[in-house]
């Protein structure tokens, strides 16, 4: 049996802007995990997951062994990842094999409520990793990241891939996205290896950030799951015009995130000031597009943090899910957590997932 785990993620800054190629965001990988266990099988493959209801998804190789056929299931992140890795396996001339996947997620609570920690990205990353080991493909972390992102955009074309990067590389990262629309258009016509080397990846960067000195991260969940894809679509409805206000948002977001990258681990007070600026940029974007990014609960979470000398903001697309707080030592955890609980916000026991062993980003610095 092969067993691999991928961590969840939280956005720290740069949401929405990161959807545009080359615009930066900061993310954290967190210490809750999704696990994929792979066992060899014979004649047919299965995917076992609570998300599939009463029974597993069944798949098999086509007559040529070049691709897979999935029975009675729409395309999702797991089957997209399997299909892409099987294409690569076929292109390398390796014999097709069968296997079962058992997926177990710790990114939701016991009742199945989603916290917005990036389960779709984590499962895609974990499946790619498991199949890389199973077929002994020898893929580098960057190759696995790119494969996971290509599989992701087959299901969610607007996904930035920041969550995929966080789940792949761990720790604190600064990220910019590639041109996913161009990659998606090319993905069915090019060999997988050629797709991974396309110039559309040139604007995609993953940078390691240092430890967050002098501050700690606190996370509160509002109890209201949010759809990232729906919110990103709603905010981007008029992006085709590239109006001045949206262009100004992108420029201001880029400046704030790059300043955050520079201050990270060096200047805690500057980090707090910049996080507050990022909060207000997101709120302004929501008003510009007529969309609620910062709900009443998220506003309360952020306001309470600021009142105590910390900084908070929605994490990710907003509209619910999690808010994050960066707090100096003078701000007690219980001072915030007690206020959150009284306002139906659940404090989550989350910490940074640091890379284990050799840093997977060391080779691409």
Pairing of strands 45-48, 98-105: parallel
DSSP 55-95: S-EEEEE-TTSSSEEEES----HHHHHHHHHHHHHHHTTPP
Q: What is the pLDDT of residues 12-56, one digit of tens each?
A: 999 999 999 999 999 999 999 999 999 999 999 999 988 776 678
Q: What is the pLDDT of residues 189-212, one digit of tens each?
A: 999 999 999 999 999 999 999 999
Q: What is the pLDDT of residues 254-309, one digit of tens each?
A: 999 999 999 999 999 999 999 999 999 999 998 888 888 899 999 999 999 999 99
Q: What would the mean pLDDT of 111-135 be, rounded to a whole number?
A: 91
Distance, CA of 149 to CA of 165 (rounded, Å)? 8
> In the chain, helix, strand, coil percent, each to 5?
40, 20, 35
Residue 98 in 3-state DSSP?
strand
Distance, CA of 71 to CA of 194 (rounded, Å)? 29
Residue 239 — very low, low, confident or very high, per pLDDT cuts 50/70/90?
very low
- The pLDDT value given to residue 229: 55
Q: Which domains does the chain have, with CATH numbers?
A: 2-209 (3.30.230.10), 216-348 (3.30.70.890)
Q: What is the pLDDT of residues 242-254, one digit of tens each?
A: 578 889 999 999 9
- The pLDDT value given to residue 318: 80
Residue 103 in 3-state DSSP?
strand
pTM (predicted TM-score)? 0.92
Mean pLDDT for the chain? 90
- The pLDDT value given to residue 19: 95
């Amino acid at each position: 049996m092969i067993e691999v785990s991928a961590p969840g993620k939280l956005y720290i800054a740069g949401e929405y802007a990161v959807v545009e190629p080359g615009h930066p965001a900061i993310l954290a990988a967190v210490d809750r995990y999704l696990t994929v266990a792979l066992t060899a099988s014979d004649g047919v493959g299965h995917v076992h997951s609570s998300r599939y209801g009463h029974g597993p998804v069944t798949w098999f190789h086509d007559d040529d062994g070049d691709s897979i056929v999935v029975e009675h299931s729409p395309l999702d992140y797991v089957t997209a990842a399997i299909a892409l890795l099987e294409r690569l396996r076929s292109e390398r001339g390796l014999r097709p094999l069968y296997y079962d996947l058992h997926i177990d997620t710790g990114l939701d609570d016991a009742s199945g409520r989603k916290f917005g920690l990036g389960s779709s990205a984590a499962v895609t990353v974990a499946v790619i990793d498991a199949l890389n080991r199973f077929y002994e493909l020898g893929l580098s972390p960057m190759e696995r990241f790119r494969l996971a992102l290509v599989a992701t955009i087959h299901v969610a074309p607007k996904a930035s891939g920041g969550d995929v990067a966080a789940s792949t590389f761990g720790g604190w990262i600064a990220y910019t996205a590639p041109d996913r629309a161009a990659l998606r258009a090319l993905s069915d016509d090019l060999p997988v290896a050629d797709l991974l080397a396309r110039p559309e990846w040139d604007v995609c960067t993953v940078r390691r950030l240092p430890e967050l000195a002098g501050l700690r991260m606190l996370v509160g969940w509002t109890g209201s799951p949010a759809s990232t894809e729906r919110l990103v679509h709603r905010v981007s409805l008029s992006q085709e015009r590239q109006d001045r206000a949206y262009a100004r948002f992108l420029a201001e977001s880029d400046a704030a995130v790059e300043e955050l990258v520079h201050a990270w681990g060096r200047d805690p007070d500057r980090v707090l000031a910049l996080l507050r600026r990022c909060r207000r940029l997101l709120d302004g974007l929501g008003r510009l597009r007529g969309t609620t990014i910062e709900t009443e609960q998220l506003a309360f979470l952020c306001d309470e943090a600021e009142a105590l000398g910390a900084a908070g903001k929605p994490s990710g697309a907003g509209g619910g899910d999690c808010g994050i707080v960066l707090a100096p030592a003078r701000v007690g955890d219980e001072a915030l957590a007690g206020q959150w609980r009284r306002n139906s916000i659940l404090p989550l026991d989350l910490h940074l997932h640091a890379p284990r062993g050799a840093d997977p980003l060391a080779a691409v610095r």
